[in-house]
Structure 1
Amino acid sequence: MIHSIPVRVYYEDTDMAGIVYYANYLRYIERGRSEWVRDVGLDQNVMKERDGVVFAVRRLEADYLGSAKLDDALVVETQVKSVSGVRMVMEQSVKRGEDLLFHALVTVVCMSLGGQPTRLPANIRQMVH
């Protein structure tokens, strides 16, 4: 399943050349993952309070393939590629129409509130399969 959210490019997102500053693509895909979490029924506040775990990005591999500009209407697509006991690998893309501008593979893990890696809770693994 591919999850999609719209993103509009604002002036604050651009650099001096009038194109989206490269780091803002990371913000866009973070929004995509956050909305995906909500839409699959996970509540990160409950996960933190009840289970004592939070999500953390462990690894990110990104390709910048095109440039977005002020006022562009973009779409962030997110899908789970794999889930194991300790990690989820998510594929994320930022598109303008059919044009692929940014692509990333993001490895997400669970961490205890003390900062130690921990297994994904079973209910989470079941929800995302």
Structure 2
Amino acid sequence: MASLPPSGAIDGGIHRLAQRVYFEDTDAATIMYHAKYLHFLERGRTEFLRVAGIDHGAAVKAGEGAYAVTEMQIKWLRPARLDDVLVIETRLLSVRAAACRIEQRITRAAEPLLEATLTAAFLDPAGRPRRQPPAWMARFHELLAQEP
């Protein structure tokens, strides 16, 4: 696979982000600690939004709202190890007024290591569901139309 830019790239509706496993991500046996996978998944979702042109950080700062994971199902398939280069794949499954359903995978040299499906709700500053901005919804629908 060709080298990815620092924030990854979207192709066919799928965002791919390359990340290396560092010593801080591993246990004493140099196997990636299970909770660290959540950090990598979060990075994948954050960079997916960035590459899609959605400024989540600006929305948070402006008090418009923020995404919060409300549900997640994870299946660990194989362990990642120190110095592995992983690719976090993120794609939208569906979009509702105040939430997105997202599928993510982590691979090493195209070998699946983890599969996850989650719901991210858009919440107002008080933590109540809020409609996603119309421009974001339009962009999400464009990405859904690009699926392979």
**TM-score of the superposed pair, with normalisation by structure 1:** 0.95
- Runs of at least 4 residues off by over 3 Å: none
Match of 2:96 in 1: 84
Cα offset for 1:77? 0.4
> For 1:23, which of 28, 32, 35 is the aligned residue?
35
Q: Quick one: which amino acid aligns to residue 21 of structure 1? A: Y
Instruction: Compare 10-19 and 41-50 and name the one that shifted more.
Output: 41-50
> For 1:125, which of 127, 133, 137 is the aligned residue?
137
After superposition, the Cα gap between the structure-2 partners of 1:51 and 1:126, relative to the gap in structure 1 and judged at 3 Å, is farther
State the alpha-carbon separation in 2 of the partners of residues 20 and 45 from structure 1: 28
Bigger share in strand: 1
Q: Deviations over 1:22-70 (max 9, x none)?
A: 0011100100000001011111232224461111111111000000111
**TM-score of the superposed pair, with normalisation by structure 2:** 0.83
State the alpha-carbon separation in 1 of the partners of residues 110 and 140 from structure 2: 27
Match of 1:96 in 2: 108
Q: Does 1:53 align with 2:68?
A: no
State the alpha-carbon separation in 1 of the partners of residues 98 and 124 from structure 2: 12
Query: In angstroms, what is the RMSD of aligned CA positions?
Result: 1.2
The runs of 5 or more residues in structure 2 that have no matched partner are 1-12, 142-148
Identity score, percent = 36
State the alpha-carbon separation in 1 of the partners of residues 81 and 129 from structure 2: 38
Instruction: Compare 91-100 and 111-120 and name the one that shifted more.
Output: 111-120
**In the comparison of the two structures, how many residue pairs are matched?**
129
The runs of 5 or more residues in structure 1 that have no matched partner are none
Q: Quick one: which amino acid aligns to residue 74 of structure 2? A: A
